[in-house]
Amino acid sequence: MTPQPFTATILGSPRIGPHRELKRATERYWAGTIRRAELDSIAAGLRRDTWTALTAAGLDSMPTNTFSYYDQMLDTAVLLGALPRRAADIADDLDRYFAAARGNDAIQPLEMTKWFDTNYHYIVPEIGPDTRFALNPAKVLGEVKEARDLGITARPVIVGPLTFLALSKAVDGAGAPIGRLDEVIALYADLLADLADAGADWVQIDEPVLVTDILSNAAELTAQTYRLLGGLTKRPAIFVATYFGALNGVLAALARTPVEAIGVDLVAGGYQAVGAVPELADKTVVAGIVDGRNIWRTDLHTALGMLESLRGSVGELAVSTSCSTLHVPYTLDAEPDVDPALRSWLAFGSEKVTEVVALARGLRDGREAITEEIAASQAAVASRRYDPRLNNAHVRERISSIASSGATRGPAADRRSAQNERLHLPALPTTTIGSYPQTTAIRKAREALRAGEIDQVEYTHDMRAEVAAVIALQEDLGLDVLVHGEPERNDMVQYFAEQLDGFFATRHGWVQSYGTRCVRPPILYGDVNRPQPMTVEWATYAQSLTRRPVKGMLTGPVTILAWSFVRDDQPLADTANQIALAIRDETVDLQAAGIAIIQVDEPALRELLPLRSKDKGDYLAWAVGAFRLATAGVNDSTQIHTHLCYSEFGEVIGAIADLDADVTSIEAARSRMEILDDLNAIGFSNSVGPGVYDIHSPRVPGTAEVAASLRAALKAVPAERLWVNPDCGLKTRGQDEVVASLRNMVDAAKEVRVDG
């Protein structure tokens, strides 16, 4: 077949709507205030607007089926008939879909986990012995038709068979899902025939799993899959897209199959290796040169140079973003507060499309055709390089001299005795992770502040009242170590970003995190510095209300890094150290203000773990180094806590021990004993608080249940090292559940202290 060649595209686009229209509509549908037809029509409107805007901007190939009501992996499970059996009885297809994603009274939801090393979470399909695959192409075909009705030729995007199976989870004793590859390939073959009938001349099959070490025989499986699909006679032209890293040996294997186009991530993967694969000489290479997941403007001069040097060694060359722009906000136009210099350095979703189109034009018509665009991008690059905010001599000098300037803490045993002498805590001390329910009153006050209806003084006054209520509640419950409840924080990263030099917090820079949940990652553009204390007044106010110790609450450097858009002009490790220094300053000030316990949360420690095994050691070394830099400025008698959640910790267990926090609270509702055993296995001997109940569910755990799990934990950890706490912060929970759960938790601790 001779498909229409294309020159400028993107791999996918945001779908929540420029003003989060889809989020709002979906939540209204869940609440029962709108019907299916209205939701569908809002969704169709968003797709139409997206396609029309992308066409107008000059793309000549249009990704479709990148829209989703919840998640693309879940969509693929539906496509392949692989929803779990427990959802099968729900008659309405959309309700069944949402039930699989979110659960309901009767059924457990599917798990959710991070999409590679991004902050997007996908739904993990379950493949069991009774999974009967069957093709259900309605959504994919529907979008092809919808686009055609608008006069647009669709390039449907589907998650590839290798990625789908590698990221799914085996259940009920089934073997690894990849063992079912043959069956699944057969369904993809049928789908390709359907797409050809529907008039699609290209299909994009996403195989990001090929940039990881997840499949040990990736090259073979790639050859097997794409020789078969490529060998079909009735099919659209196949574009296999990869992203988030380099393909290494798999690139040549893929290039030897009969697919027409291969997408490579030149931002994360480099371009030299691509030029060195002779088999690409008769392929279309879709060059992901515009960063799809960070917000920096592309240096068009350099980018065009790379493309020109690739051109000779491949068949056709098309320009693209490195991955879907799902990971960046819609447009810079929505950010009135960015100063002109910073604005000139940035490119959000729609600005990236403009860059792709310009590069494609430069490639086709020569550099002269985009002289102005190149000049503007070079001016931005120069302005960024010389901006004083990116090079704070004071910060840089402190980093380099920190080893000699900072106090270093003593050995763990000395610290423990100093802390025991100061704190006099009972065995099995009870505490919480930091946040208490974000009540409607809190949200209203924040809204009112933003809208200018109340001023900062009144807002602070309201939040202090919340703190006082939370302290009174904890005293009443009889908790041993209290917290102020974090009512003043919109978000555990943004709150700090707003107070640190070097960060810009966007107004509308929403990015989908999962389902209808969106986040606004701050932009970390410059050298990080803490102009003044950030949390000391809140902590000391809370401490003034009680004789029990109040924990100071900080977010750790790795988590701040992971949940921001980070500068790309220096190693991540250097940026992490700068943040660490700012957090360290805060710990020292908290200590000076009389705070005896400080918690530095690192829920994202696991998240930034590189995709390739060989890179993991380096990462863990600098991540642990940054945490220790942040926490080693205090005395032995100040107790350092950390908190970890959201992941399987197996791979990073050694790093958790190396953090050397005095107390580590860790999400463990599902596998408490495993974590304790893993920690024991590596000789971890600091204190640990494995979460005793799951805060992600509204269920209130009974006293006996918590006591039983404490007794089980005591088999692995002695009472003097075991803490009692929930799995994570309580901000998403309702007040009544929280009170009931904590009361039972405290009762259970008391019971176990007495009876053992």
Which residues are marked as active site?
A: 696
Find tokens 């790639």 and name the residue.
222
Which 3 state secondary structure label does DSSP give 536?
helix
Segment near Zn ion (CB under 5 A); pick from 14-22, 28-36, 639-647, 712-720: 639-647
Q: Which is nearer to ligand GLN, 170 or 738 (CB)?
A: 738
Interactions with Zn ion, residue window 356-375 (CB under 5 A): none
**Residue 143 and residue 307: Cα distance in Å, rounded?**
32
Residue of the chain from 722, 729, 733, 742 that contacts ligand GLN (CB under 6 A): 729
Q: Which does 731 bind (CB under 5 to 8 A by kind): Zn ion, ligand GLN, none?
A: ligand GLN
Establish if 728 lies at the interface with Zn ion (CB under 5 A): yes
492 binds, among ligand GLN, Zn ion, none (CB under 5 to 8 A by kind): ligand GLN
Q: Which is nearer to ligand GLN, 293 or 551 (CB)?
A: 551
Pairing, β 169-170 against β 202-206? unpaired
> Which one of ligand GLN, Zn ion, none interacts with residue 553, CB within 5 to 8 A by kind?
ligand GLN
Q: Is 433 annotated as contributing to ligand binding? A: yes
Beta pairing partners, 640: 598
Binding at 251: pick from ligand GLN, Zn ion, none (beta carbon under 5-8 Å per type): none
CA distance 127 to 175: 9
Distance of alpha carbon 374 from alpha carbon 363, whole angstroms: 13
Binding track, positions 143-182, relative to ligand GLN; x by CB under 6 A: ----------------------------------------
Q: Is 551:482 a contact under the CB 8 Å cutoff?
A: yes
Shortest separation between residue 173's beta carbon and ligand GLN, angstroms: 33
Give 17 or 729: the residue with its C-beta nearer to ligand GLN: 729
Structure tokens at 267: 């931002």
409 or 731, CB closer to ligand GLN?
Answer: 731
Q: How far apart are CA 13 and CA 28, in angstroms?
A: 23
Binding to ligand GLN by CB under 6 A, coded x per residue (else -) over 534-553, reads -------------------x
- Per-residue binding letters, 670-709, with Zn ion (x by CB under 5 A): ----------------------------------------
State the Cα–Cα distance between residues 517 and 103, nearest whole angstrom: 16
Q: Supply the DSSP string of 354-377, one letter for each residue.
A: HHHHHHHHHHHH-GGGGHHHHHHH
Angle in degrees, 0-180, between the axes of helices 300-311 and 371-386, rounded to the nearest 10: 120
Binding mask 577-616 toward Zn ion (x if CB under 5 A, else -) reads --------------------------x-------------
- Taking the complex as a whole, the smallest distance from the CB of residue 745 to Zn ion amounts, in Å, to 16
Cβ proximity to ligand GLN: between 277 and 644 the closer is 644
The nearer residue to Zn ion, 25 or 644, going by C-beta atoms, is: 644
- Least distance between ligand GLN and beta carbon 705 (Å): 22
SS3 609: coil
Choices 485-493, 539-547, 590-598, 728-736; region in contact with Zn ion by CB under 5 A: 728-736
CB of 604 to Zn ion, least distance (A): 10
Q: Give residue 740's identity as a one-letter amino acid code.
A: A
Query: Shortest distance, CB of residue 432 to ligand GLN, whole angstroms?
Result: 7
What DSSP string runs through 418-474? HHHHHH-PPSS-B---SB----HHHHHHHHHHHTTSS-HHHHHHHHHHHHHHHHHHH
Residue 700, helix vs strand vs coil: coil
> Is 234 assigned to a binding site?
no
- Residue 483-522 contact track with ligand GLN, rule CB under 6 A, x = bound: ---x-----x------------------------------
Numbers of helices and strands, H then E, in the chain: 28, 21
Contact call for residues 371 and 505 (beta carbons, < 8 A): no
From the list 204, 352, 212, 218, the residue with the least C-alpha distance to 291 is 352
CA 174 from chain center: how many Å? 29
Reported as half-sphere exposure (CB side, CA atoms, 13 A), residue 79 has a value of 30
Place of tokens 């006069």: 151
Q: How far apart are CA 427 and CA 756, in angstroms?
A: 11
Q: Is 645 in the site for Zn ion (CB under 5 A)?
A: yes
Q: Which of 602, 292, 215, 627 is nearest to 434 (CA)?
A: 602
The answer for residues whose C-beta is within 8 angstroms of residue 285's C-beta and 6 or more apart is 261, 262, 263, 264, 274, 310, 314, 315, 316, 317, 318
Distance CA 727, CA 724 (A): 10
- Please give the C-alpha separations between residue 273 and each of 249, 252, 266, 309, 333, in angstroms, as whole numbers: 10, 10, 10, 12, 37
Q: How far is the CB of 602 from ligand GLN (least distance, A)?
A: 9
Give the interface segment with ligand GLN, choosing from 199-207, 291-299, 381-389, 726-734 (CB under 6 A). 726-734
- What is the contact mask toward Zn ion in residues 372 to 391, using x (rule: CB under 5 A)? --------------------
* DSSP H or E segment with residue 586: helix 572-592
The CA–CA distances, whole Å, from 711 to 90, 429, 718, 754 equal 40, 14, 10, 12
Chain-centre distance for alpha carbon 355: 25
Q: Which one of ligand GLN, Zn ion, none interacts with residue 678, CB within 5 to 8 A by kind?
A: none
**Which one of 87-95, 266-274, 433-441, 704-712 is the stretch in contact with ligand GLN (CB under 6 A)?**
433-441
Best CA proximity match to 353, nearest among 290, 267, 302: 290
Our finding on whether 645 is near ligand GLN (CB under 6 A) is yes
Q: What is the CA radius of gyration of the chain?
A: 27
Taking CB positions, which residue lies at the least distance from ligand GLN?
729
Q: Tell whether residue 435 is among the known ligand binding residues.
A: yes
Residue 434 near which of Zn ion, ligand GLN, none (CB within 5-8 Å, type-dependent): ligand GLN
The size of the chain, in residues, is: 756
Residue 470 touching ligand GLN (CB under 6 A): no
Q: Can you name the residues that pair with 321 across neighbouring β-strands?
A: 290
Q: Judged by CB, which is closer to ligand GLN: 125, or 603?
A: 603
* Least Cβ distance, residue 87 to ligand GLN (angstroms): 28
Nearest to 465 by CA among 494, 441, 443: 441
Residues 580-609 that bind ligand GLN (CB under 6 A): 601, 603
Q: What is the closest distance, in whole angstroms, from the C-beta atom of residue 13 to ligand GLN in the complex?
A: 28
- 245 scored as a contact of ligand GLN (CB under 6 A): no
Residue 21 among known ligand-binding residues:
yes
434 binds ligand GLN per the rule CB under 6 A: yes
- Segment interacting with Zn ion (CB under 5 A) among 306-314, 476-484, 525-533, 721-729: 721-729
State the minimum distance, in angstroms, from the CB of residue 553 to Zn ion: 12
- Site for ligand GLN contains 567 (CB under 6 A): no
Nearer to ligand GLN, 51 or 693 (CB): 693
Tokens of 174: 């089934």
CB 531 within 8 A of CB 585: no
- Residue closest to 18 by CA, chosen among 350, 249, 488: 350
80 CB-side CA count, 13 A? 30
- Tokens standing for residue 692: 């005793």
Residues in the annotated binding site for L-methionine: 433-435, 486, 601
Q: Which residues are annotated as a binding site for L-homocysteine?
A: 433-435, 486, 601
Annotated binding site for 5-methyltetrahydropteroyltri-L-glutamate: 20-23, 114, 517-518, 563, 607
Residues annotated in a binding site: 20-23, 114, 433-435, 486, 517-518, 563, 601, 607, 643, 645, 667, 728
Footprint of Zn ion (CB under 5 A): 603, 645, 728
Q: Which residues does the annotation place in the binding site for Zn(2+)?
A: 643, 645, 667, 728
Residues near ligand GLN, by CB under 6 A: 433-435, 486, 492, 553, 601, 603, 643, 645, 728-729, 731
